[in-house]
Structure 1
Amino acid sequence: MRARRLFAHLAGLISLTGLPYLLYGLLYVVRDPEGSPAEKDHDVEPSVSVVLPTYNEERIVESKLAGICEWDYPPEKMEVVVVDSSDDATPEIVREFFAERDAPELRLIEETERRGLAVALNEAYAAASNEVVVKTDCDSKVAEDALREAVANLADPEIEAVTGRNAEVLGGSEVERGYRDVQARIQTLESHVDSTFIFHGPFSAFERDSIVAIDEDSIADDTELALKIRKNGGRVVFDPAIRYKEASHSEFRKRRTQKDRRAMGLLRLLWRQRDMLGRYGGYGTVVLPFNWWFMGVSPTLVMAGVGLASLGAVAVGGPLGLAVPVALGAFVWLGARDSLGSLQPAYALFDTQVSLFRAAVKLLRGEGDGTWDVDAELREAFEAR
């Protein structure tokens, strides 16, 4: 009887966990979303401020600046706002790079102390003087046409912010690539329903007049800004035509740390903005509830399901039942090493649920701040490409 109850609970957990994903899948089929929902105008050329936060980026900042100057956009209509808190040669390299260039114009903000990314971004956004503000990360490579695609989206009067997709994961992580492919489909659907939730640091663009300050302790700065813009009435969308490449760890333990931090920021943001549920059109009635489920509820159910499956198998099969936890362990071991073949996307989703569960535990312990550390391995992945 105990085994039956365990399996009944397991079946209930599986049904409860999977139902929202099934409904989202059906919505995807019904809506058949493709590309950005914006009415694009590729002929517009507003002035643009490119915000680049830096901290000890002396190995890669020149390459990043060169990439920005290669974007398919009139340099005389651009300025680059670098906000720097380094204790290495980064600011000197930035100044030297722009010394013999008339355009884009440089605005270099040198912080006397390191106060966190959110504080630095608020200062940079306030200093940006042009119509459109693009935020990009130093350890990413952005497609030459990304800015044109972004301003084409923002030409739609309903759209006030836009982000893009990770077209290639630098560093060779199949787990991260698999998750990003699934995420791109979800964000495309969300943008057609109303607005998307997650915005991406490697490239996000905002109407200058729509920008508001973000919390100084934020660890989900790009997404928080987009959420607040939606809260103020503007739409914020995902366009897969905007492409970038971002470095991600290939080694399991380091990737877990990176994903846990991102998950902590998103969970904390959802909690702080919980008053948006049920409001703001499809954003509050469809998009946010799904993200609450995926990030806040589903990870606990998945962990409970794994535990019940293992306990139930042992209760019914005795020693033979150990095959279930062993199989689960093999799934995790092989998936962490990008060795599951066609099952790798399934592991990518499972891996994300684990990170979200761990992030929730860390937040309950009071962990998480707004500073970030330079990662040598990610810098090497960026330099290699």
Structure 2
Amino acid sequence: MRLRRLAAWLSGLVALTGLPYLLYGLGYVLLSPEGSPADKDPDAEPTVSVVLPTYNEEQIVESKLEGLLAWDYPVEKLEVVVVDSSDDATPDIVREFFDRPDTPELVFVEETERRGLAVALNEAYAAATNEVVVKTDCDSKVATDALHEAVANLADPTVAAVTGRNAEVLGGSEVERGYRDVQARIQTLESHVDSTFIFHGPFSAFERDAIVPIDEDSIADDTELALKIRKNGGRVLFDPAIRYKEASHSAFRKRRTQKDRRAMGLLRLLWRQRDMLGRYGGYGTVVLPFNWWFMGVSPTLVMAGVALASIGAVAVAGPLGLAVPAALGAFVAVGARDALGPLQPAYALFDTQVSLFRAAVKLLRGEGDGTWDVDAELREAFEAE
């Protein structure tokens, strides 16, 4: 009797957790989405402001700026807006770099104190003067054709913002790579349904006239800006042809901190913009409900399922039931070492659900602010490429 009851509860949890994913998978099969749905113009070449927020980036900022110059785009149509709050040599390196010939115009926004990334970005966006604004992170490498791909999307009058995919994870994290591959498929489908939800800091492009201020305590600044642009009527798309590389930890504990922070920002944004549910076409009726489920509901159900399976197995089978939590522990331990082979993507999704659950708990405790810390190891991963 106990075994039947346990099986019924677990079956119900599995069905409840998995149904939205099955529906999304079915939608992917039926729509067979490929690439961006925008009416792209490959000849588009508007003027572009590249926004680069910096904080103590003296190790990598020159390499990043060299990367910007390598973009396949007319330098006379570029300006670079650096917003900086460093207390190291970053400002001097930036100014010296732009003293060189054949560099874009520099707009330097120097802050006297750290007030958070969202505040810095609001200032940088306000200082940008060109038709398109691209935001990129210092610890990322962007494909040379990414900007041309982005402005080709923005040439579609219905499209106001576009982001791209992490083509390769600097630092070699198979867990992060597995999750990003799944995420790319989801975001491609969302873009064909209406608009995507998540925007990515390493490379996101916006029509300057569509930009609005973001909340000063935001910890999901790129996604928040895209969401507000969609709220104002513009489509925000994901195009896998826009490629970049971002540093990410392989070590489990360090990856946990990085992913937890991102998850906190997205969860808080969903909650603050909950009035969008059911509105704004397919964005509010399909895309946002799925993300609410994936980020807000599913992690709790997954944790409840793990707890029920472990406790129930021990209650039913006694000491032999410890095999269930032991197997779950082995799955986590092996997956955290990028050693699950073909099962690694499944662990990547589980890992993300754990982060989302932890993030929800942290938010309920009142944690989370708009500043970030320099990660020396990720900087080293960037320099090694």
Q: TM-score range by the shorter chain?
A: over 0.9
- Correspondence for 2:349: 349
Amino acid at match of 1:221: D
- Correspondence for 2:15: 15
8 Å CA contact 1:7–1:312 kept in 2: the answer is no
8 Å CA contact 1:51–1:135 kept in 2: the answer is yes
- Correspondence for 1:331: 331
Amino acid at match of 1:175: V
Note the 1:214-293 alignment, pairs <5 A.
Answer: 214-293=214-293
- Correspondence for 1:88: 88
Once the two structures are TM-superposed, the CA of residue 113 in structure 1 deviates from its matched residue by 0.6
Once the two structures are TM-superposed, the CA of residue 29 in structure 1 deviates from its matched residue by 0.6
Note the 1:60-209 alignment, pairs <5 A.
Answer: 60-209=60-209
2:338 alignment partner, SS class: coil
2:305 alignment partner, SS class: helix
Amino acid at match of 1:138: C
TM-score (norm 1): 0.99
- Correspondence for 2:377: 377
Amino acid at match of 1:70: A
Once the two structures are TM-superposed, the CA of residue 101 in structure 1 deviates from its matched residue by 2.6
- Correspondence for 2:55: 55
Distance in structure 2 (CA, Å) of the matches to 1:19 and 1:316:
28
8 Å CA contact 1:3–1:315 kept in 2: the answer is no
State yes or no: 1:310 paired with 2:310: yes
Once the two structures are TM-superposed, the CA of residue 8 in structure 1 deviates from its matched residue by 1.3
> Deviation per CA, 1:218-270, whole angstroms, max 9, x where unpaired?
00000000000000000000000000000000111000000000000000000
1:35 alignment partner, SS class: coil
- Correspondence for 1:299: 299
> Deviation per CA, 1:314-340, whole angstroms, max 9, x where unpaired?
222221111111000000000000010
- Correspondence for 1:33: 33
1:239 alignment partner, SS class: strand
8 Å CA contact 2:36–2:188 kept in 1: the answer is yes
Amino acid at match of 1:101: P
Once the two structures are TM-superposed, the CA of residue 3 in structure 1 deviates from its matched residue by 3.5
Distance in structure 2 (CA, Å) of the matches to 1:101 and 1:300:
56
Distance in structure 2 (CA, Å) of the matches to 1:42 and 1:92:
37
Amino acid at match of 1:26: L
Once the two structures are TM-superposed, the CA of residue 5 in structure 1 deviates from its matched residue by 2.1
Once the two structures are TM-superposed, the CA of residue 10 in structure 1 deviates from its matched residue by 1.1
Provide runs of 4+ in structure 1 moved above 6 Å.
Answer: none
8 Å CA contact 1:46–1:132 kept in 2: the answer is yes
> Deviation per CA, 1:291-319, whole angstroms, max 9, x where unpaired?
00000000000000001111222222221
Distance in structure 2 (CA, Å) of the matches to 1:261 and 1:24:
26
> Deviation per CA, 1:136-157, whole angstroms, max 9, x where unpaired?
0000000000000000000001
1:51 alignment partner, SS class: strand
1:280 alignment partner, SS class: coil
Once the two structures are TM-superposed, the CA of residue 4 in structure 1 deviates from its matched residue by 2.6
Distance in structure 2 (CA, Å) of the matches to 1:113 and 1:150:
33
> Deviation per CA, 1:60-95, whole angstroms, max 9, x where unpaired?
000000000110000000000000000000000000
Distance in structure 2 (CA, Å) of the matches to 1:44 and 1:352:
37
- Is there any run of 5+ residues in structure 2 with no aligned partner, and where? none
2:310 alignment partner, SS class: helix
Distance in structure 2 (CA, Å) of the matches to 1:3 and 1:119:
55
1:339 alignment partner, SS class: coil
Give the fraction of aligned pairs with identical amino acids, expressed as a percent: 88
1:141 alignment partner, SS class: strand
Once the two structures are TM-superposed, the CA of residue 102 in structure 1 deviates from its matched residue by 4.4
Deviates more, 1:311-320 or 1:279-288: 311-320
TM-score (norm 2): 0.99
> Deviation per CA, 1:99-129, whole angstroms, max 9, x where unpaired?
0234311011110010000000000000000
- Is there any run of 5+ residues in structure 1 with no aligned partner, and where? none
Amino acid at match of 2:101: R
- Correspondence for 2:213: 213
1:187 alignment partner, SS class: helix
Amino acid at match of 1:191: S
